[in-house]
Amino acid sequence: MESPIDTYLRQIHAEIAKLRDGKPYSNIPAMATVDPDNFGIALATVDGQVYEVGDTREEFTIQSISKPFTYGLALADLGCDAVDAKVDVEPSGDSFNEISLAEGTGRPANAMINAGALTATSLIKGSGGQSGFKRILSTYSAFAGRQLSVSEKVYESELKHGHRNTALAHLLRSFNIIEDDPTPVLEDYFRQCSVLVNCFDLSIMAATLANGGKNPLSGRQVLEIGPVERVLSVMMTSGMYDDAGAWISSVGMPGKSGVAGGIIAVLPGQVGLAVYSPPLDEHGSSVRGLATAQRLSRDMELHFVRAARTGRSAILAAYDVTETPSGIRRNDEAADVLRANGHRARVIELNGDLLFAGTESMVRELSALADDVELVVLDLRRTDQVSEVALRVLATVRRGMADAGRELVLVEADGSVAEALAQTQDKHRQAVPSFPSRNAAVEYCENRLLARHGNRLLLPDHVPVTASPALAPLDEADAAALQALMTAKRFDDGDVIRRVGLRFGGVYFITAGKVSSTSPGPTAERVKLNTLSAGMTFGELALGSGNRQETTVRAVGPVEVMVLSAEAISELEESDPRLAILLWKALTRDAYTRVEQYLRESAVRIRE
């Protein structure tokens, strides 16, 4: 199944591609001939999942998107105090190439404008046999997760036509902000701006910042959290220059643009976004890049105010129903069907917040389901918040699953998600089944599997004693002889049929309806053990517990049973020892099956 995130990105890519405003940057001749129709979007999560659409592998020069990464390297080398002495952290409100220096000191306002970026580049010195620029390039490569290179053509063009930056460098030298000959600094700066990247690279670089400086693909800690914190703070207030206020209001993520048409946005703890489209607006930012960032922020609730919590995978566990049976005892034929087809029903336990990151991890799990999965149980009981974007995406997933013949089932305490989904469903679709417990949801799935892959006889409403699975080893005549010794009883919904502590009262054969059994838990509450339906038995396990009932058995709706009382069994042992021995053999066999199932159910409850 295709991820709804891929579908969504293709949709907005097609819509935003129609924007024809702006034009490519022409002040550097080597960049003026780029195809204005190039347009790529890449979205990378902090655990390394990348969604991409369009021209995401088309290379272009990084330009001013290089600034936060060089600034981060300077902070890592020298510390905040030393860097702050050379470049401030205040938003300037000026365009990217403004001559904006503090009066008297000449200190640039921040490291995102050209004057501050030149200053940051001047602070990077050679080390370990590498020149200053080689260290810069190595840092960019570590952020991207691959070795990057420089466009010599763009570099030469920058060097030849970068008169304003040359003037800025010499002005900085006059204030001793740049302490040595500015020419090598200019060369390094022009080279860093000429580093070739693609949209995929930038999404990983942005995701590395979002991930506290650790590259989500390589696992390498490229930058420590202290410098990352400072870099993202300055990007938030100054990364978009004189458009920073509008960016913070409409996008709400630290961002950075470049005149080659690239743009990145970082949502700490969750995702990194990269867009490439050469036509620029009057602020020097990609027109389509800005529109894409605004659209994703709104639709996916990526604004920092909405997505304030750190995003983690929402997947707690995933397994099929054979690992966590419902607790309903089935006859041998039904059990065989479930063993053969239980993998067709998957349970996915979710936890934490279903904001964008949690929703994305949920969608990724659903999109990776095997083709033969027919039912999916989403256990939402441990989720703290289900956002609007999660509900929208889940509605899309549900429609896609239904079209593919799959069914979504929910486990939630209050049914609120199922109710919200009902508001988004087509009228001809049934409501999403919702259950307060996983046991009930799994029982529903088991019944659906039996109906699809078995036959209606595996889900009987009435089972005579002679067809009881417990008496399967007996022939029809012996089973009929036992039935003649039994007494018929009826119970209403909620009636207690057997209570904890009662002496052995015989074997109860359920002929119609269901019963539930509970036992005392570690605290005052009772723990539900299982549900027994028509064809099943109870009461006989008391024989292994000092002749005392260990569970309380209640009717679930109207129930009909046939009781082989303790007295009737004693009389049978006297009058027909052969049949009594056959009975005990059959019950022993059935009891072992019961004990095995109890052990599996206990393992499931421990997980909860």
Name the residue range of residue 547's domain. 465-607
Predicted pLDDT at 309? 53
Q: Is residue 307 part of a domain?
A: no
What's the pLDDT tens digit per position in 105-152?
889 999 999 999 999 999 999 998 999 999 999 999 999 999 999 999
Q: How many CB atoms lie within 10 A of CB 291?
A: 18
Q: Is residue 158's pLDDT more than 80?
A: yes
Residues 476 and 452 in one domain: no
Residues 479 and 441 in one domain: no
How confident is the model over 234-248, as a mean pLDDT? 91
Considering the chain, what percentage of its residues have pLDDT values greater than 70?
A: 90
According to DSSP, the residues that pair with 255 across neighbouring strands are 265
Q: How far apart are CA 36 and CA 470, in angstroms?
A: 76
How confident is the model over 13-35, as a mean pLDDT? 93
Q: Is residue 195 part of a domain?
A: yes
Secondary structure of 263-292 in the HEC alphabet? EEEEECCCEEEEEECCCECCCCCEHHHHHH
Residues 322 and 425 in one domain: yes
Q: How many CB atoms lie within 10 A of CB 14?
A: 12
How confident is the model over 87-104, as a mean pLDDT? 75
* Cβ proximity of 140 and 72 under 8 Å: no
Give the rounded distance of the alpha carbon of 294 from its chain centre.
22
Residues 414 and 550 in one domain: no
Going 530 to 435 to 432 to 350, the CA torsion angle's sign is negative
* Cβ proximity of 216 and 272 under 8 Å: no
How confident is the model over 557-574, as a mean pLDDT? 94
Residues 242 and 133 in one domain: yes
Residues 175 and 323 in one domain: no
Q: How many CB atoms lie within 10 A of CB 398?
A: 22
Q: Is residue 225 part of a domain?
A: yes
Arithmetic mean of pLDDT over the chain: 90
Out of 458, 473, 508, a domain closes at 458
Q: Is residue 593's pLDDT more than 90?
A: no
Q: Is residue 284's pLDDT more than 80?
A: yes
Q: How many CB atoms lie within 10 A of CB 191?
A: 22
Q: Is residue 544's pLDDT more than 70?
A: no
Q: Is residue 371 part of a domain?
A: yes
Number of H helices, E strands in the chain: 20, 19
354 pLDDT tier (thresholds 50, 70, 90) = confident
Predicted pLDDT at 599? 62
Q: Using CA atoms in the order 564, 568, 570, 576, what is the torsion angle rounded to 10 degrees?
A: -100
Q: Is residue 398 part of a domain?
A: yes
Q: How far apart are CA 590 and CA 42, in angstroms?
A: 58
For residue 87, give every residue at least 6 positions away whose Cβ sits within 8 Å of its Cβ, in sequence order, or none.
107, 108, 110, 111, 116, 119, 120, 177
562 pLDDT tier (thresholds 50, 70, 90) = very high
Residues 447 and 499 in one domain: no
The tokens of 527 are what? Answer: 């723990």
Please indicate whether residue 455 or residue 477 has the higher confidence score (pLDDT): 477
Predicted pLDDT at 472? 86
CATH number at residue 525: 2.60.120.10
Strand extents, DSSP E, 117-227: 149-150, 195-197
Residues 431 and 576 in one domain: no
b/e burial code for range 126-140 (CB count within 10 A of at least 16 → b): eeeeeebbbbbbbbb
CATH number at residue 347: 3.30.750.24
User: pTM for this one?
Assistant: 0.73
Q: Is residue 309 part of a domain?
A: no
605 pLDDT tier (thresholds 50, 70, 90) = very low
The tokens of 297 are what? Answer: 């922020």
Residues 239 and 269 in one domain: yes
Predicted pLDDT at 522? 63
Residue 596 is inside which H or E element, if any? Answer: helix 577-607
What's the pLDDT tens digit per position in 410-445?
999 888 999 999 887 765 567 899 988 888 899 899
Predicted pLDDT at 534? 85
Residues 555 and 450 in one domain: no
Size (the chain), residues = 608
Q: Is residue 572 part of a domain?
A: yes
Q: Is 247 helix (H, G, I), strand (E, B) or coil?
A: helix
* Cβ proximity of 347 and 375 under 8 Å: no
Predicted pLDDT at 461? 78
Please indicate whether residue 25 or residue 333 has the higher confidence score (pLDDT): 25
How many domains does the chain fold into?
A: 3
What's the pLDDT tens digit per position in 295-314?
999 999 898 887 655 555 68
How confident is the model over 523-546, as a mean pLDDT? 73
* Cβ proximity of 195 and 65 under 8 Å: no
Residues 153 and 98 in one domain: yes
Residue with tokens 């027109």: 287
Residues 525 and 377 in one domain: no
Predicted pLDDT at 27? 86
Q: Is residue 30 part of a domain?
A: no
Q: Is residue 334's pLDDT more than 90?
A: no
Q: How far apart are CA 34 and CA 455, in angstroms?
A: 65
